[in-house]
């Protein structure tokens, strides 16, 4: 019988080819119900893998049966979203005492959706951010990502239209308080 347990680890630069292929498939297939072809093309410029997260040790890979099923991470840097090809990234360090940590670049391979991969990665990100002293997390959601984030307790801050890829893509800035979340409360 196949091992269906999800396993996770930190990504390394050696994962780059697998991760970019997975992200390409996720953007191509899973955005289709929400975006037209021009918006999907635009998404490839404003989204994607940010290798800074791999180098920071804040980017996770989830595997099932030795196949890469999903990836995603978090950050203590100012960039809210975007990949290596996206304009305007900002590597400035955030202050856990006043800034929300970022959740970044969440993707599940189309063959592995609705198996809890995204939820697992979000939990890993929130736990790691909490351990670094952050009490809130913020992210820029796609329409495809919105159901996952709402299911995991994220609330809408504002809708955004990003046209830096040539055609406007609808996005949602969302946030969640993580202090005490998932931890037993003291009496």
Ligand X SMILES: CC(C)(COP(=O)(O)OP(=O)(O)OC[C@H]1O[C@@H](n2cnc3c(N)ncnc32)[C@H](O)[C@@H]1OP(=O)(O)O)[C@@H](O)C(=O)NCCC(=O)NCCS
Q: Which residues bind ligand X (CB under 6 A)?
A: 26-27, 30-31, 70, 106-108, 113-119, 141-142, 144-145, 147-148, 151
Name which of 135 and 150 has its Cβ closer to ligand X.
150
Name which of 134 and 142 has its Cβ closer to ligand X.
142
Name which of 104 and 133 has its Cβ closer to ligand X.
104
SS3 156: strand
Q: Considering the complex, what minimum distance in angstroms separates the CB of residue 186 from ligand X?
A: 29
Q: Considering the complex, what minimum distance in angstroms separates the CB of residue 81 from ligand X?
A: 7
Q: Considering the complex, what minimum distance in angstroms separates the CB of residue 57 from ligand X?
A: 21
- Copy the structure tokens of residue 5: 């347990």
Nearest to 51 by CA among 25, 9, 94, 89: 89
- Give CA–CA dist 94/96, Å, rounded: 6
SS3 10: strand
Name which of 94 and 145 has its Cβ closer to ligand X.
145
- State residue 138 phi and psi, 5-degree precision: -135, 150
């Amino acid at each position: 019988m196949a091992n269906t347990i999800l396993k996770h680890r930190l990504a390394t630069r050696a994962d780059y080819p697998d991760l970019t292929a997975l992200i390409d498939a996720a953007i191509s297939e899973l955005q289709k119900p929400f975006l037209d072809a021009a918006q999907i093309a635009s998404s490839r410029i404003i989204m994607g893998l940010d290798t800074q997260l791999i180098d920071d040790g804040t980017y996770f890979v989830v595997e099932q049966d030795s196949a890469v099923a999903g990836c995603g991470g978090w950050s203590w840097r100012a960039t809210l979203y975007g990949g290596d090809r996206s304009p305007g990234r900002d590597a400035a360090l955030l202050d856990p005492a006043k800034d929300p940590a970022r959740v970044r670049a969440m993707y599940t391979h189309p063959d592995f959706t609705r198996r809890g991969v995204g939820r697992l990665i979000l939990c890993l990100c929130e736990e790691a951010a909490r351990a670094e002293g952050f009490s809130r997390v913020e992210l820029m959601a796609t329409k495809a990502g919105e159901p996952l984030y709402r299911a995991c307790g994220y609330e809408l801050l504002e809708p955004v239209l990003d046209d830096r890829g040539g055609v406007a893509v609808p996005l949602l800035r969302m946030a969640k308080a993580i202090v005490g979340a998932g931890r037993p409360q003291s009496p």
